[in-house]
Amino acid sequence: MKFSKLHGCGNDYIFLNCLEGAPGDLPGLARRLSDRHFGVGADGLICAFLSATADFKMVMFNADGSEGAMCGNGIRCLGKFLYDGGLTDKTGLAIETRAGERRMNLWLEEGRVVSATVDMGEPKVGLPIQSAVKGINYTSIPVSMGNPHSVVQVERPEELDLETIGPVFEHWSYFPDRTNTEFVRVDDPAHLSARVWERGSGETLACGTGACAAVAALHRAGKCGRDAAVRLPGGELRVTLADDGRALLTGPAAEVFRGEVDG
C-alpha cells in the first residue's frame, strides 16, 4: 500500500489515494500507521475519495482512530497530494468533508503546490464559559468550525503543562464529543501565539481549524482584528475573517516522504 506523508506547519498526516477503493478498517489503520514508534508516525490519516458533489472527498482519522470532521492543515496538504500527484490539474478545488464542502485555491512555485488558501466557512462562536482546571480558573470560548473548539486566552502558553491540562479540557463535560483546545496569547491585534491540544491526537504543532477558532473568538471579544497571523510551534498560519463572517485560512503544505507499507 503506497502512502505519502505531508505536513502543514508540523501538523503531519499520512495520505492514501482511495479513488479506486480503500483498504478495510480505516480507523485501525489510522491507529497503526500514526504510531510514532511502531508505525509511520503522524497526527492522523487522511484518505482521498471520489465525491458525487465536489471534486474530491476528504475522510480523516485522528491518531486514536476517531473520525474527524475537518482539518485545516490536512485539507491544504490534501490539495498538494492531489495536484502534485497528478490526480488533478485544477488549482481551485471543492472538497467534500463531514463539516460540509470546503473550497480552496492552491498556490504554486515551479509547478508544485507550496501553500493554499481555504474557505473554512463561518465560525460559530458561543458565550464564554468559566471553568476551574487543576485549581486555576480559565475562561473558555466555545467555537464550532465544523469540529468543536475551546479557545482559552492565557499569558504564557509556552509554560503550560499541556500533557496535564489538555486531556481535562478535551474531556470536559460541556463537549460531549470531546473538544480541541487552543491556549492563546494576544501579542498585538494582528498577531496571536498559541498551543493546541487536539482531541484524539494530543498536542500538535499546529491546527488550522484551531487558528480560525482563535481569531474568530478573540475578534468577537475585541482582542484582535479581522486579519491575524497565528504563531504556532510548527509555524505561522494567517486567518482573515471576511465581511460575511467566513474564515479564510492560508498556510503552507509540504511533503515529507513517500513510502509503502503492508495493508
The full 3-state SS of 246-257, as one line of letters, equals: CEEEEEECEEEE
Indicate the DSSP class of residue 158: G
Active site residue 71: yes
Q: Rounded CA gap, 72 and 70, in Å? A: 7
Q: Rounded CA gap, 208 and 249, in Å? A: 7
Sign of the Cα pseudo-torsion (4, 51, 21, 89, in order):
negative
Active site residue 47: no
Residue 197: strand pairing partners:
181, 203
Q: Rounded CA gap, 105 and 3, in Å? A: 24
Single out the catalytic residue among 9, 47, 71, 212.
71
| Cβ contacts of 25 within 8 Å, gap of 6 or more | none
Q: Rounded CA gap, 92 and 153, in Å? A: 35
Q: Rounded CA gap, 258 and 263, in Å? A: 15
Indicate the DSSP class of residue 245: S
Single out the catalytic residue among 77, 207, 212, 224.
207
Residues identified as active-site: 71, 207
